[in-house]
Amino acid sequence: PSRAALATGIAIGEGQSLTRTLGMMPGNLCTPHFLSPPAAEIAKRHSFKATMLGRKELEAEKMGSMLSVAQGTPQDPQLIDLEYRGCKPEEKPVVLIGKGLCFDSGGISIKPADKMEYMKFDMSGGGAVLGAMDAIGTLKPKVNVVGIVGATTNMPSGDALKPGDVVQAHSGRFIEIINTDAEGRLVLADALAYGV
């Protein structure tokens, strides 16, 4: 029992370490595309099914809500999907969905400059999903788990989303944008619809 408890603690600790490492990285290094290799490595090491969607694939999936946030940046957005099977395939999975805003300026509805550097932490939910999936792969619980990360940045530019714009989400619903600093809801709306 003590060895099993130690192994569990190590697995959880390693997952937390990955999450914290990603969260502490500056936004110019921890970009949306930077999150894909650690996810692929986790998938390979634990034999997960892995799917990585970039801008073209997100367009094909009609993820207009997430893409509306990503249109303000030249960085390629990423939707990361890791699937762990710990029981019968027909059993519904637990789905973990994390917000991966590698930097959130607020977009056109720009945030105050004071403490804006902390917005590199807006990808912590996505980092937590990757850390959790790494721990799950080691612990091998008897449950199916899907981990999804919607990763992009929210930046002001000539192409950025504007207050008053209307976009169509992956679910088919239309969303009117009132404040572009509500980017997390836009990213998670498509990630949730994709995960259903």
User: pLDDT tens-digit profile of 114-136?
Assistant: 999 999 999 999 999 999 999 99
User: Is 185 among the residues known to form the active site?
Assistant: yes
Whether the predicted pLDDT of 166 surpasses 90: yes
Contact 179, 128 (CB under 8 A): no
| pLDDT (0 to 100) of residue 182 | 96
Question: Could you tell me which residues come within 8 angstroms of residue 127 by beta carbon, excluding any fewer than 6 positions away?
Answer: 18, 19, 20, 22, 23, 35, 98, 100
How far apart are the C-alpha atoms of 186 and 58, rounded to whole Å? Answer: 14
Catalytic residue among 111, 120, 140, 162: 111
| pLDDT (0 to 100) of residue 55 | 97
DSSP 122: G
Torsion of CA 185, 31, 78, 63, to 10 degrees: 40
Catalytic residue among 45, 140, 173, 185: 185
Confidence class for position 2, pLDDT limits 50, 70, 90: confident
**How many Å separate Cα 134 from the centre of its chain?**
15
Q: Above pLDDT 70, what percent of the chain? A: 100
Tokens 């710990």 identify what position?
A: 86
Whether the predicted pLDDT of 102 surpasses 80: yes
Whether the predicted pLDDT of 1 surpasses 80: no
Which of 46, 68, 48, 43 lies closest to 58, judged by CA? 68
